[in-house]
Structure 1
Amino acid sequence: MLDNLVAYFDSIRARDPAPRSRWEILLYPGVWAVGLHRFAHWLFQARLYFLARFVNHLSRWLTAIDIHPGAKIGRNLFIDHGFTVIGETAEIGDDVTIYQCVTLGGTNPTNGQGGKRHPTVRDGVIIGSGAQVIGPIVLGERARIGANAVVTDDVPDGATMIGLKARSTLVPAEEWLKEFIPYGTPCDEPCEEIASNGARRIEELEAQLAAIRAELAELKAASPAPVRRNGTDS
């Protein structure tokens, strides 16, 4: 038990350089939220729904993180800061990182039954702050969801999603895959590389336009001046 707790704290320190010791991590609201959820989920599985909800509400009041007791959570979930909502049928794998103000939300069932209506998050996923992941979709292993992205479709393994509605950066994961990206939002690569390619293309087009203008100016300068006859040009 103690070894598992130490391993959990060490996994958080590997993703967050702020804490100076494991004791600081013990004060993180995300750690308390996950710990209380473990207890609430045990009560939920035992069909003690009222008690499970009571623990859930207590956890939300203490941590500003709302995890439904029915949600299934794997090892080493790190919720950095609060104001995160995780729905009832959400499933989260191992070594997942979720930043503040994230919603793993559900769709409105049309058949009168709850069913699977929340996302499934595979191992190693990073979800940036403010991201909204909605519906019974799957975020593939080691996917990165950029800050404020809105994701409503399945995400392939290793893909980086940005924007509203989220779109892939179209950079193959095997070309740049990193161990960890804070907030799930790449700053230098691959997004900057894509932006720089676009900027280079604009510079090339501007250079071509300048060359065309220079050629027109040379042609105009080389053409003979018009001869004026009786007040008119000929």
Structure 2
Amino acid sequence: MVFTYAGLHALWAHRVAHWFYRKRWFTLARVISQISRFMTGIEIHPGATIGRRFFIDHGMGVVIGETCEIGDDVLLYHGVTLGGTGKERGKRHPTIGNNVVISAGAKVTGSFTVGDNSRIGTNAVVLSEVPPNSTVVGIPGRIVKRDGVRVGRLEHDKLPDPVVDMFRQTQQQIDELKMELDSMKARSGGK
């Protein structure tokens, strides 16, 4: 049963291609990578560095870029892209920490780190650093949990408005002064 997983075949091919890539046999490494892509639907650049116990489940459409670094015990689902933005030179792809799960369709693009023990939700678009022990969802990706605790959601219809706050504070001061003035008038006999 384990031998029927395309993700496993792609990983085996990548290990061979990566070995040739490190030996600077770039053409042979790319040929192996392209054959694997054709056979599995999973594209892993031979330059990508992948840790132990890495697994791609339902792998069709997975893309892993050249300078991507993936830690140990990472799980990817179908349609995941670990890519670059096209703006960087040198290290262009993300670094994925240990024990990370990246759900179906997620796009993690750019040269930044996704911290250990993090979770990326389905179809999230992650464009910036993810701290360890975080859960990220949405487009653009936002952190909704950190260290197992839900992070407060900023509701755009309830944003603080400093001008309104200033008017409320001023109105409160006017009301207090009016009460004080009324009290003074009452003590002086209404004059």
Same fold (TM over 0.5): yes
2:125 counterpart of 1:160: no
2:70 counterpart of 1:92: yes
CA distance in structure 1 between the partners assigned to 2:36 and 2:100 by the alignment: 24
Q: 1:59 aligns with which of 25, 36, 42?
A: 36
2:65 counterpart of 1:76: no
Unaligned stretches of 5+ residues in structure 1: 1-23, 176-189, 199-234
CA distance in structure 2 between the partners assigned to 1:162 and 1:107 by the alignment: 19
Pairwise CA distance, 1:94 = 0.1
**Percent of aligned positions that are identical:** 46
Q: 1:49 aligns with which of 10, 19, 26?
A: 26
* TM-score relative to the length of structure 1: 0.62
- How many equivalent residue pairs? 153
2:18 counterpart of 1:29: no
**2:49 and 2:70 in contact (8 A); partners too:** yes
Pairwise CA distance, 1:173 = 1.8
Structure 2 residue aligned with 1:172: 146
Higher helix share: 1
CA distance in structure 2 between the partners assigned to 1:109 and 1:160 by the alignment: 26
Structure 2 residue aligned with 1:120: 95
The RMSD of aligned alpha carbons is 1.9
Superimposed CA distance per residue, residues 35-94 of structure 1 (whole angstroms, 9 cap, x where no aligned partner): 100000000001101100000001001110000000000001110112100000000000
Pairwise CA distance, 1:107 = 2.4
CA distance in structure 1 between the partners assigned to 2:97 and 2:14 by the alignment: 19
CA distance in structure 2 between the partners assigned to 1:68 and 1:89 by the alignment: 8
- 2:108 alignment partner AA: V
CA distance in structure 2 between the partners assigned to 1:142 and 1:172 by the alignment: 10
Name the SS for the 1:156 alignment partner.
Answer: coil
Structure 2 residue aligned with 1:40: 17
Structure 1 residue ranges, 4+ long, deviating more than 4 angstroms after superposition:
none
Structure 1 residue aligned with 2:81: 103
- 1:75 alignment partner AA: R
**2:134 and 2:148 in contact (8 A); partners too:** no
Name the SS for the 1:26 alignment partner.
Answer: helix
1:160–1:174 CA distance, 2 compared to 1 (3 A): closer
- 2:91 alignment partner AA: K
**2:97 and 2:114 in contact (8 A); partners too:** yes
Superimposed CA distance per residue, residues 99-143 of structure 1 (whole angstroms, 9 cap, x where no aligned partner): 000100112246xxx400000000000001000000001000011
CA distance in structure 2 between the partners assigned to 1:159 and 1:55 by the alignment: 35
* TM-score relative to the length of structure 2: 0.76
- 1:51 alignment partner AA: L
Unaligned stretches of 5+ residues in structure 2: 156-191
